[in-house]
């Protein structure tokens, strides 16, 4: 009877069209406090529906180096429930995980594959991690991948009866609570439909279930508490205590560097430049990626991660008599609001805060070439947490303003048939400055060509290019470009068609397809001048009309001026930062952006006398 039933199910599955390439049939996460240890047991059952879903059969299990990980079981089943293959121990590999900012660089991953060649198939695996030191019981989402559906997800947290915990729930029903003589068990059940994240959609604003469970008191390197943000700051301070000592040779270097300098800002700039000469690399540390290497280590070894270099910078400033603070921040493309009423570890990066009498300078210590005081797009406009023992507190990093991101250009285009040499001078700020800074460090023609092809269509060759950084130590970079382009201008008897050189504006879904909020975390601003030079003495009978658009989403101006055998086109684009809901503001925002894009992409039609 069992085989007949499974054969029938297999037939149904073979003729059914699935929306997902893979889906989680069941995921169960058990978190249990046993003595002074946290035991985590995770079990998964995943169905792979087609070849495109095979990526879900590549399993990655993250863990801390000092935790004990064991793979309890792992196998492949066919759709009838027959075991096709059990995982062998020699098929499991371990490696260290590195990140760009290396906040958690003592994280490791255990990995293996459970692929099969007959679809659909099911993979099952379970693993246990025993943590001797921990500050969190779980920060749980009911999925493995954002776009992968989950039919059944369960989180079970079991703690001793008098073990105080704090819980934060988002978009999920209250748990079932079972109390015995010695324990309290919480069980949450939910499912997840899967989300395809739309462009510029902040995931944290979507109605996705999440459960955060923390112990009020914990030991992680040293004893700590989640009673308040101040107690969290005290824990970080204790964890990194006694790490500010500088070798005598280092102190002598600082004395020499700052000899005769009295202005605090100039001292900060000199020491920051000195720091940037130290090579940045990931290094392994002892306690969960939260404890920094001491300043002496960085001084001697000439490298460190975001924590070590920030701690080192604070030490240099301290020796120079300048008060500064080791500061935690959530770095990245998306600004995530921090719940001030629920202290937790919400950060992935470290910077330095230097408060002065009339200013506050923030230092990003992991870049070798950005100017002093420039935080970049990944750290702007968000809450940062100053670590100062019981006086620890939040501070807001500066928000990028339109002038901070304004990219300007001057483009000279000879209006001739055949091959044309186009000269461009571009001044980059904001995210484009950061991208150009990276490209300038590579300085390879292939990379420049890839960059240009994302922005300009048509056939071109790069004759020459060069970069020039701002001499006043500002976050700007000049990009000079000389291109050879064939038939860029179309000349007829008394009509001329010129290329528009459009800016690369955000590409987003039409309103009828948009289901998620849209957010720009900093403004977009361009100021372009394009000069088309005529050498045949033509006089224009008709040029395009000027365009001016002003809305609550931004402004756009496009102006044409013909004088002395040249047409000068000036463009100003400003799109404000903002958050727009899919149901209300998005339609109007999309209309504004579409109008700007239409004008940007429109060829220029002229009529000569």
pLDDT for residue 8: 33
pLDDT, greater one: 309 or 471: 309
469 — pLDDT class (breaks 50, 70, 90): confident
pLDDT for residue 153: 98
280 — pLDDT class (breaks 50, 70, 90): low
Does residue 604 have a pLDDT over 90?
A: yes
Does residue 101 have a pLDDT over 70?
A: no
The residue whose two tokens read 């940007």 is: 600
CB 221 within 8 A of CB 287: yes
Domain definitions of the chain by residue range: 19-215, 230-396, 403-608
Tell me the CATH class for 19-215.
Answer: mainly beta
pLDDT for residue 106: 62
- Mean per-residue pLDDT for 442-469? 83
Q: Which CATH number is 403-608 given?
A: 2.60.120.1130
The DSSP result for 113-148, as a single string, is: E---SSSSEEEEEEEEEEESSBS-SEEE-S-SSTTS
304 — pLDDT class (breaks 50, 70, 90): confident
Does residue 18 have a pLDDT over 80?
A: no
Q: 64 Cβ partners below 8 Å, 6+ apart?
A: 106, 107, 108, 131, 288
pLDDT for residue 470: 66
User: Into which CATH architecture does domain 230-396 fall?
Assistant: Roll (3.10)
CB 359 within 8 A of CB 350: no
- Mean per-residue pLDDT for 271-286? 70
- Mean per-residue pLDDT for 545-566? 95
Name the residue among 353, 359, 184 with its Cα closest to residue 265: 359
- Mean per-residue pLDDT for 192-198? 93
pLDDT, greater one: 471 or 408: 408
Does residue 306 have a pLDDT over 90?
A: no
pLDDT for residue 1: 33
Tell me the per-residue pLDDT of 476-508, one tens digit each, with 9 for 90 and over.
999 999 999 988 888 888 889 999 999 989 999
Name the residue among 272, 429, 273, 268 with its Cα closest to residue 359: 268
92 — pLDDT class (breaks 50, 70, 90): very high
E-strand spans in 132-245?
Answer: 138-140, 150-160, 165-170, 176-179, 183-192, 210-215, 217-220, 222-225
- Count CA atoms within 13 Å of residue 187 on its CB side: 10
Phi/psi for 163 (5° steps) reads -105, 105
Tell me the per-residue pLDDT of 206-256, one tens digit each, with 9 for 90 and over.
999 999 999 999 998 899 999 999 999 999 999 988 888 999 999 999 999
Tell me the per-residue pLDDT of 384-420, one tens digit each, with 9 for 90 and over.
999 999 999 999 999 999 999 999 999 999 998 888 9
Does residue 281 have a pLDDT over 60?
A: no
Rg of the chain on CA atoms, in Å: 29
Tell me the per-residue pLDDT of 325-373, one tens digit each, with 9 for 90 and over.
999 999 999 999 999 999 999 999 999 999 999 899 999 998 888 999 9
pLDDT for residue 10: 36
CA distances from 583 to 59, 104, 171, 417, 586 (A): 38, 38, 20, 49, 7
pLDDT for residue 591: 96
Which H or E run contains 298? helix 295-301
pLDDT for residue 2: 34
The two domains 19-215 and 403-608 share their CATH topology (first three levels equal): no
Dist CA 448 CA 146 (whole Å)? 33
pLDDT for residue 279: 58
What's the mean per-residue pLDDT of the chain? 90
287 — pLDDT class (breaks 50, 70, 90): very low
CB 485 within 8 A of CB 420: yes
């Amino acid at each position: 009877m069992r085989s007949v039933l499974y054969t029938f199910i297999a037939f149904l599955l073979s003729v059914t069209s699935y929306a997902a390439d893979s889906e989680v049939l069941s995921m169960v996460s058990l978190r249990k406090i046993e003595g002074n240890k946290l035991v985590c047991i995770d079990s998964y059952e995943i169905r792979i529906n087609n070849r495109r879903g095979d990526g879900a059969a590549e399993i990655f299990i993250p863990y801390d180096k000092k935790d004990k990980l064991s793979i309890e079981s792992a196998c492949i089943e066919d759709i009838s429930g027959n075991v096709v293959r059990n995982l062998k121990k020699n098929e499991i590999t371990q490696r260290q995980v590195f990140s760009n900012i290396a906040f958690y660089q003592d994280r490791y991953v255990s990995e293996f594959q459970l692929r099969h060649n007959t679809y659909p198939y099911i993979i099952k695996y379970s693993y246990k991690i025993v943590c001797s030191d921990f500050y969190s019981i779980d920060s749980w989402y009911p999925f493995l991948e954002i776009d992968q559906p989950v039919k059944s997800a369960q989180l079970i947290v079991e703690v001793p009866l008098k073990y105080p915990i704090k819980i934060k729930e988002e978009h999920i029903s209250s748990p079932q609570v079972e109390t015995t003589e010695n324990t309290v068990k919480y069980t949450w059940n939910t499912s997840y439909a899967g989300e395809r994240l739309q462009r510029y959609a902040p995931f944290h604003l979507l109605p996705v279930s999440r459960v955060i469970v923390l112990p009020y008191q914990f030991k992680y390197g040293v004893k700590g508490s989640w009673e308040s943000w101040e107690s969290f700051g005290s824990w970080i301070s204790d964890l990194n205590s006694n790490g500010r000592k500088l070798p005598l040779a280092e102190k002598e270097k600082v004395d020499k560097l700052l000899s005769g300098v009295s202005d605090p800002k100039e001292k900060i700039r000199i020491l920051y430049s000195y720091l940037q000469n130290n090579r940045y690399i990931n290094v392994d540390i002892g306690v969960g990626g939260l404890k920094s290497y001491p300043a002496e280590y960085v001084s001697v070894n000439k490298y460190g991660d975001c924590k070590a270099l920030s701690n080192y910078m604070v030490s240099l400033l301290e020796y120079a008599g300048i008060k500064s603070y080791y500061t935690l921040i959530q770095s990245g493309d998306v600004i995530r609001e921090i719940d001030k009423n629920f202290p937790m570890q919400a950060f992935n990066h470290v910077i330095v805060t230097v408060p002065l009498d009339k200013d506050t300078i923030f230092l990003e210590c992991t870049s070798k070439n950005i100017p002093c005081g420039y935080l970049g797009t990944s750290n702007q406009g968000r809450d940062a947490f100053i670590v100062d023992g019981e006086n620890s507190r939040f501070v807001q990093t500066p928000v990028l303003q339109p002038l901070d991101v304004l990219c300007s250009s001057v483009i000279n285009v000879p209006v001739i048939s055949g091959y044309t040499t186009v000269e461009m001078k571009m001044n980059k700020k904001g995210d484009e400055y950061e991208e150009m800074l990276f490209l300038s460090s590579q300085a390879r023609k292939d990379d420049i060509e890839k960059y240009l092809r994302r922005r300009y269509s048509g056939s071109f060759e790069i004759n020459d290019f060069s970069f020039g950084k701002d001499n006043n130590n500002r976050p700007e970079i000049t990009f000079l470009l000389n291109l050879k382009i064939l038939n860029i201008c179309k000349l007829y008897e008394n009509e001329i068609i010129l290329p528009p050189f459009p800016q690369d504006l955000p590409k987003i879904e039409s309103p009828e397809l948009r289901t998620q909020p849209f957010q720009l975390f900093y403004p977009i601003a361009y100021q372009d001048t394009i000069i088309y030079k005529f050498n045949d003495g033509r006089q224009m009978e008709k040029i395009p009309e000027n365009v001016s658009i002003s809305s609550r989403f931004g402004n756009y101006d496009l102006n044409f001026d013909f004088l002395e055998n040249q047409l000068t086109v000036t463009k100003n684009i400003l799109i404000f930062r903002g958050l727009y809901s899919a149901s209300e503001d998005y339609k109007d925002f999309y209309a504004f952006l579409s109008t700007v894009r239409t004008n940007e992409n429109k060829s220029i039609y002229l009529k000569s006398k």
